[in-house]
Structures are given as C-alpha cells and as structure tokens.
Structure 1
Amino acid sequence: MGLIIYLDGQYVDEEEAKLSVFDHGLLYGDGVFEGIRAYHGRVFRLKAHIDRLYESARHINLDPGLTKEEMTQIVLETCRRNNLRDAYIRLVVTRGKGDLGLDPRKCPRPSVFCIAAAIELYPAELYERGLELVTLGTRRNAPDALDPRIKSLNYLNNIIAKMEATRAGAPEGLFLNKEGYVAEATGDNIFIVKNGQLITPPPYVGLLEGITRNAVMELAAGAGIPVYEKVFTRHDVYTADECFLTGTAAEVIPVVKVDGRAIGDGQPGPITRDLIARFRELTKTDGPEIFI
C-alpha cells in the first residue's frame, strides 16, 4: 500500500491516481499548484496557500470547481489518510482533459489532486554552515510575458535554471530579471541584511511572493528589525552583511557565498540565525490542526 492521493473527489492509492494523457496540465503546463508544509500536526499557513492558489487560478481564468473551504478540507484529509503530522503537500489544479489544441474551452472540467509525503530539500548541516549560490545566465521570466506571481505548472524557467546551477556545482542559483536586478533563487526568495536592515526584492521585479517570505518579514518586524522591499543588484548581495533564502521546502536557510565571494564573514549571521529560530517556533502554532 502506497500513499493515499486525493484525485477528483476520491482518495485512492498512488498506483490508481491517474490523469488522462489529454489533460492540458500535462500537454501544456496549463494549471496551478501550491507546495505546502505540515509541522507538528498543523498545516502551516494553509489559508495563505489556498488564497494564493485561487489567485493564480483566477489569473489564468481557471475555476477549480471547489470552494476554498472544500480545498482546505482536502489538504487536511489527505494528511490524515496518510497519518502524517509532518509533511510536504502538493495541491494541484489542472485545466483538465481536452483535445490536442490550445483552447482551454475544450476542457470542460478541471482536475484537482493532492499529495502528502515526506521531504528533505537540504541536508541538516547546510542550515548550520550555509549555502553557496551562483548567478545564473538564465533570466527570470518577465512579468509581462509570464508573471512569476502565477504559481503555474509550467516550471521550465526554474528547471532550466536549476540545471544550470547544478552544472556549476552549486545547490542553488540566483535569478536576475531582464534589467539585471536580483529577483529570487530557482525555488526560493532571497533576503540580504545590511547595517541591521532586512531587504528583499519587491514582487514587481519578477518573483513569486512566497508564503515563507511573508512570514519571515512579519517575524523580523515583530523583532524590531527594519524590513524593506527594495530593488537591488549583485553588488548589494556581494557586499551584504548576511544573506539567506526562504521557501516552503527550504524554510529559512543561510547563504554564505555567492559567485565565490564570501558574504560577511562567511558564516551564517546573527539575524539569520535568530529568524531561523523564530520561524521554527512559529511552525509549532501557526495553521489548522490535522488531527482534532
């Protein structure tokens, strides 16, 4: 018996969870998704994830066919059926089965599926000693072409960039936008610390407005750390006192070197370490309980 998957109104064994080869999510990447985490029997910031899923769906004129409350219960029930208190959850809405043409009107019903499983993105020691990044030649999608604020199933921009980072021997890569400003990493948002201030790029430069990103900004503000959304370049990264990434899978992870240049003293900084601790505490209480 494998994982139990929610698929279009049923909970089925993973071997029985099948979509049509004519589904436009497969044929064209026409759909949206969310990556969500459960910690200590709670689904972290589930409401924010559901809201973002529906915003992405609205942008591409896709009606999931379920209410937000129904979608919320699907996530919780999928965790329950797999007896998971700590999990990575993938919630997906595709355009559904259609024909070989592009026209989404040929897809009468969307498909919705939800997977809950275990995940470990980075080894535990990297949270202690930090990551090294390389700047990517691949540029982030331009918002006027395909807005990165849509968390769509078309992830080729990120995948090509990830392959580029891997070829360079780095676990992550730094996306610049078409103007050369820092946008984000291939799967995470980026923060720098300079003179006690926390700085992250604004969404309009071309990035996904991360749920973890927003949580960390709130934690920093609550701790009295000034937080700013500002446009910045690689120069600002190279000369920062500290740097870290945030993401649902990665959580909060230090960056200690970019393009061969040590950030600060080459060790995770005090503000980064403080925010890691605060975030881990937040995950214990923030979000609906799975088992009640």
Structure 2
Amino acid sequence: MSVNTVFLNHAFVEETQASLLVTDLSIQRGYGIFDFFKTINGKPVFLDDHIARFYNSAKKMHLQISQTPAELKGIIAELMQRNNLPDSGIKMTLTGGYSGDAYTLPTAQNLIITQTALSIPKGLQEQGTTLVTYPYQRQLAEMKTLDYSMAIWLQPFIKEHHADEVLYQYDSFIKETPRANFFIVTTEGEVVTAKDNILAGVIRKNILNLEDTVFQLTEREFSLEELYNASEAFITSTTKNILPVLKVDGKEIGDGKAGKVTAQLYDLLLEKIG
C-alpha cells in the first residue's frame, strides 16, 4: 500500500512521519483554520477562490502564513506531482502554533497540506439528502476554523431524527449546515441563500456569480417557515457540488424530489468547473 506525501511547514514528508508537538494550539484549544479543494483529472477546481479564502481566514484569526499565494500554489503543484492522485481532495491546515502556556497565540504557525483520493460525483445525485434543523449560530462563522464540536456532538440527534445532516437555524432564520451552504427555491422561482453570519462557500460563490442566467439569485435572510413552503432546496459544497434536499424536519420540500432549478444550476456549475 502506497504512502502519500504531505507538506509540513517547509518540507515534503511521508504522512506516517508527519507530526506536531502536543503544545500546538490546535491540540490544546482547537485553534486553527483550514481550507479544502478538489482536483479533477489532475486539475485543481476553483483554486484561486480557495487560496483567497484560506488567507482571509488566517488574517481574521490573527494567524500568519509564511508562504505567499504563489509559493503556496507551487507547493500544491509539487505535492500533486509526488502523489499522482488525479481525482483528489487537498486540505490546507494552519494550526495556532506552539504555545508555552497553551493559551497565548505564538507568532509562528504550522502549515500542513495533505492530499487523499476522492470520488467525484459524475452527475446530480437524484436521491438527495434529508436534514433536521437545530437552533445554533456558529462562532467566528465567516472563518473556516477547525471547530466542528457542535456538529460532532449533534450526531446522535441527527440519527434520532432519521436525517443525514443538521441544518443550523438561529432566531428562526436558516443559516447553513456544518459542511455546506444551503439554498431554497421559492414558489416564485427566486433562488435564495443566507447572507450573514455564515461561511461563504466557494461553490456558493460561483453559483451566485453565474452570468446570463434566467434565475434570480439572492442573498438574504429567510425563515424556517419559508423553507418549509419552498418548491426546492439544495446544499452546495466542494465534495458534493449541488445536492438536492428532499426533506427537512421530516417534511417534504416541494414534491420531495430533485427539482428542475436545482438540476439546471448543477449543469451550469459543471460548465464552470470544466
């Protein structure tokens, strides 16, 4: 069995040899950020968007990336060459760094870049997914942090409600799932996604930036009731592209099937991905 190569700070090493000290703030306090993108046939998808978000998250979390964006791209290119995984997921992680008192933020952080094989969806997954809502607002929501404590803690709750994933809502306004952005299609045909206090996903961004479409794409607050009355719903993420949401809280959305608007947006997205 082959062992993948990873990049740790300033060197390429086998993943079995990559390690951090226990004093790292990512271990002691869960402090750090990451970003994740996929490659298809050896080509990174929306790489510039992911790198820009990675640097933005680092800045807002008061973390320093030693490499420039151009240098980071060079590291990623070499990592891909070493591992030879055409269809893959690449994760860039920046930890809080080594802290003597497990609290004070140091000036130097640890950069880890890993690559693993990834199965890429070949078409719209008609079977869709089901969600259950839970009242919660993620802290530091606009940054892609390492903190997924609530999402993991809620896994028994999700199973009890026979759902695939949780959908956060706060003050009765819909936000996001732990790993994806959420959209509805209203009965009037408006395609809506939450605007504030969410992580702005890269797939979400590229859908909102679609040009020359007949769709009204909107960022705004929308309520749980508006969701229940929507004609369609879907989530977006790097690994899933667009995935139809068929039920929320046990209630069918629309006719309980993948909708036409969802399918059309999926096709338009695939054209951008190439």
The answer on whether the counterparts of 2:235 and 2:245 sit within 8 Å (CA) in structure 1 is yes
> What is the CA–CA distance in structure 2 between the aligned matches of 1:217 and 1:3, rounded to whole Å?
35
1:39 CA drift (Å): 1.6
**Structure 2 residue aligned with 1:78:** 79
**Structure 2 residue aligned with 1:184:** 176
Q: Which amino acid aligns with 1:216?
A: I
**Structure 1 residue aligned with 2:225:** 235
**Structure 2 residue aligned with 1:210:** 201
Match of 1:130 among 108, 112, 128: 128
Q: Which moved more, 1:227-236 or 1:154-163?
A: 154-163
Q: Which amino acid aligns with 1:8?
A: N
The answer on whether the counterparts of 1:41 and 1:84 sit within 8 Å (CA) in structure 2 is yes
* Partner-residue secondary structure (3-state), 2:58: helix
**Structure 1 residue aligned with 2:137:** 140
> What is the CA–CA distance in structure 2 between the aligned matches of 1:170 and 1:235, rounded to whole Å?
19
> What is the CA–CA distance in structure 1 between the aligned matches of 2:158 and 2:198, rounded to whole Å?
18
Deviation track 1:57-99 (CA, whole Å, cap 9, x = no partner) reads 1112111111111112222222221102211111011122222
The answer on whether the counterparts of 1:189 and 1:245 sit within 8 Å (CA) in structure 2 is yes
> What is the CA–CA distance in structure 2 between the aligned matches of 1:162 and 1:252, rounded to whole Å?
22
Match of 2:145 among 149, 152, 155: 152
Match of 2:253 among 252, 259, 263: 263
* Corresponding position: 1:253 with 2:247: no
1:161 CA drift (Å): 3.6
> What is the CA–CA distance in structure 2 between the aligned matches of 1:150 and 1:162, rounded to whole Å?
22
Match of 1:226 among 216, 237, 246: 216
**Structure 2 residue aligned with 1:288:** none
* Corresponding position: 1:111 with 2:103: no
> What is the CA–CA distance in structure 1 between the aligned matches of 2:34 and 2:66, rounded to whole Å?
15
* Partner-residue secondary structure (3-state), 1:222: coil
**Structure 2 residue aligned with 1:95:** 96
Deviation track 1:14-55 (CA, whole Å, cap 9, x = no partner) reads 110111111111111221110111122211111111111111
* Partner-residue secondary structure (3-state), 1:245: strand
Any stretches of 5+ residues in structure 2 without a counterpart? none
Q: Which amino acid aligns with 1:10?
A: A
1:163 CA drift (Å): 4.6
Change (3 A) 1:147 1:266: same
**Structure 1 residue aligned with 2:5:** 4
Q: Which moved more, 1:207-216 or 1:111-120?
A: 111-120
Any stretches of 5+ residues in structure 1 without a counterpart? 285-292
Deviation track 1:120-148 (CA, whole Å, cap 9, x = no partner) reads 59x889811211111124x122xxxx321
> What is the CA–CA distance in structure 1 between the aligned matches of 2:15 and 2:181, rounded to whole Å?
31
The answer on whether the counterparts of 1:35 and 1:88 sit within 8 Å (CA) in structure 2 is yes
TM-score, reference length from structure 1: 0.87
1:2 CA drift (Å): 0.9
> What is the CA–CA distance in structure 1 between the aligned matches of 2:155 and 2:215, rounded to whole Å?
32
Change (3 A) 1:161 1:125: farther
> What is the CA–CA distance in structure 2 between the aligned matches of 1:73 and 1:165, rounded to whole Å?
41
- Number of residue equivalences: 272
Higher relative contact order (CA 8 A, sep 6+): 1
* Partner-residue secondary structure (3-state), 2:182: strand
Change (3 A) 1:99 1:81: same
Q: Which portions of structure 1, spanning 4 or more consecutive aligned residues, are displaced by more than 4 angstroms?
A: 123-126
The answer on whether the counterparts of 1:38 and 1:44 sit within 8 Å (CA) in structure 2 is yes
The answer on whether the counterparts of 1:212 and 1:251 sit within 8 Å (CA) in structure 2 is yes
